Amino acid sequence: MSTVEKRVKSRWDYAAYAAIPADGKRHEIIDGDHFVNPAPNLYHQEVSRHIQFQLYTQIELADLGKVINAPVDLQLSDHDIVQPDLVIVTRARKHIMTPIKIKGVPDLVVEILSPSNPRHDLETKRKLYENAGIPEYWIVSPDDHQVFQLVLQGDRYTESVETTAITMKVAPQATVDLTRVW
């Protein structure tokens, strides 16, 4: 039995995750369990690019932080490694960025729903991000042309739905014009 197989039989960790061969799919570890999703479709990527561009121009070009697009490893714990569509890390949290991954809690995570598995972002990742203490989480629904904005209040997310524009509740409070996303 290989080292990877031994780790997998107990709980997946970063070493086992990093040993997965490149196969064009998105691999994630949540609470030690391995999840595999197909690569996103072209519309998903277009929506991601439009949101990223608007955030990039307001955050990164203003030297307020970094806007990182998938694929990027976000390690929240020994047994929680995900690949969000977009991750925003402000200058105040730049210490969580390493040369190979983001290790720690970013300021904002953006996930764009895929037709193949929307429950993964709506339920599994929502719970993970809430428990990890990520201050803000956007769930983008390209088909419905709306964004669920989840903001951490205490230890729970409060939720609103935005359809025309969305402004980060956490600094630097960048705004995305959703009419330019769809």
- Mean pLDDT over the full length of the chain: 93
Nearest to 51 by CA among 139, 127, 133: 139
Query: What is the reported pLDDT for 9?
Result: 58
Query: What is the reported pLDDT for 113?
Result: 96
Pick the CATH number of 3-180 from 1.10.8.60, 1.10.357.10, 3.90.1570.10, 1.10.510.10: 3.90.1570.10
Q: Name residue, tokens 């203490």.
A: 133
Instruction: Name the least confident of 29-38, 136-145, 169-178.
Output: 29-38
Confidence bin at 70 (pLDDT 50/70/90): very high
- 94-119 pLDDT, tens per residue? 999 999 999 999 999 999 998 888 99
- 140-174 pLDDT, tens per residue? 999 999 999 999 999 999 999 999 999 999 999 99
Asked if 166 and 175 count as a contact pair (C-beta separation under 8 A), the reply is: yes
Distance CA 125, CA 123 (A): 6
